[in-house]
Amino acid sequence: MKKSILGFFAFLLVVQIGLSNVNSKSPLFNNLQDYGGVVWYNLVTPDISSSKKFYAKLCKWTFQDFVVKGQKLAIISNNGQPIGSMIEIKKADSSAWIASVQTDNIDASISDFVANGGRVIIDKFKINQSVGEQVIVEGPLGEKLSFIETMQPKMSLLENKEGKWIWQELWSSDPSISEKFYTTTLNLTVTETEDDGKPYWIFKNGDKKVAGLMTNPLTGANPQWVPYVKITDIDGAYNLLQQTDAHVYLKPTPEVRNGNIVVFQDPLGATLCFENFANN
């Protein structure tokens, strides 16, 4: 990858950790989670203006714009709370959400990841002594994510509130490979269950649920980590999606999670799920 992309990820980590310092009393940063937790989402997009317009309409998110070495970036906020970021990469074939996972030992994570069939896309790089290090990796089936090691307090994005991240799933072409890989490399456990009558696996760190695993429901689509956003009015969101150039993979239907979910690809190609999830 080009050095400009490396600089982008470095910038995101600086912004992310800086925000944790500024907003350390917010609920986001009080919901602490150990190794294996997603702490940030980045949207890479070929057209940041279009992406912001789309997600502002669908999720009511707001944005703070930056330009770094000629590249357009934006911090995503939900009700004034930073939850992610965007970068414009004009040459990108499509947009994509990339999750950042916190680790206590980035060198051990890289070693385990590679030894078990993953690969490094961008080599480990240090921001500074107080912020920490980051690496961009790809799992054995082609799914992409990043690792972050930092001295800053552990944190998790998951919070069941409107417009916020509530879950992440790995849509795998071979769940048996994915299960073995992530339980080994992230030292997680897994519980097999069912979702609408189909096999579903839940990754856990101790007693905390950190992610789901399922057979990729999209024919011909690459394996990928897919984020979920809490949207209460699923039918309303579906109606809004129909007014855009997004491609809806799954419209609300009683046969799937009681009609409380819609799955789509945004107009530039990133996959996302909206769900009206209720705590049991």
Per-residue confidence (pLDDT) for residue 66, from 0 to 100: 86
pLDDT of 40: 82
> How many residues are present in the chain?
280
Please give the residue that has the higher pLDDT: either 149 or 77.
77
Say which residues have a Cβ less than 8 Å from residue 167's Cβ, sequence separation at least 6.
158, 211, 212, 227, 228, 273, 275, 277
d(CA 226, CA 65) in angstroms, rounded, equals 25
The answer to whether the Cα torsion of 234, 230, 165, 168 is positive or negative is negative
pLDDT digits (tens, 9 = 90+) for 253-266: 999 889 999 999 99
Examine the pLDDT at 138 and tell me if it is beyond 90. Answer: yes
Measured CA to CA, the distance from residue 66 to residue 80 in angstroms comes to 17
d(CA 186, CA 205): 9
Q: What is the mean pLDDT of residues 188-201?
A: 91
Structure tokens given for 181:
């890989």
Q: Looking at the DSSP assignment, which residues form a beta bridge with residue 147? A: 101, 135
| Average pLDDT value for residue range 227-256 | 95
pTM: 0.83
What's the pLDDT tens digit per position in 91-131? 888 899 988 888 888 898 899 999 999 999 888 877 555 55
Q: What is the mean pLDDT of residues 234-251?
A: 96
Nearest to 235 by CA among 276, 196, 264: 276
**Nearest-5° angle of CA 174, CA 179, CA 182?**
120
- Determine the pLDDT at residue 135: 87
**Mean pLDDT, residues 224-240 taken together:** 95
* Residues 190, 211 contacting (CB under 8 angstroms): no
Q: What percent of the chain is modeled with pLDDT above 90? A: 50
User: What would the pLDDT profile of 164-194 be if each residue is shown by its tens digit?
Assistant: 999 999 999 999 999 999 998 888 899 999 9
Are 194 and 200 within 8 A, CB to CB? yes
pLDDT of residue 150: 75
Of the candidate ranges 22-31, 163-172, 197-206, the one whose mean pLDDT is the lowest: 22-31
Residue range 206-212: mean pLDDT, rounded: 88
User: No. of H helices and E strands in the chain?
Assistant: 6, 16
Sign of the C-alpha dihedral, residues 75, 78, 80, 84?
negative
pLDDT confidence bin for 240, thresholds 50/70/90:
very high
Ramachandran region, residue 187 (left: φ > 0; alpha: ψ -120 to 50; beta: rest): left
Q: How far is CA 111 from CA 96, 141, 151, 243, in A?
A: 26, 18, 20, 46
Is the separation of the CB atoms in 17 and 141 below 8 Å?
no
Taking residues 200-208, what's their average pLDDT? 90
Predicted pLDDT at 104: 81
The packing angle between helices 234-242 and 48-59, to 10°, is 140
Pairing of strands 96-102, 144-149: parallel
Top pLDDT among 66 and 280 is at 66
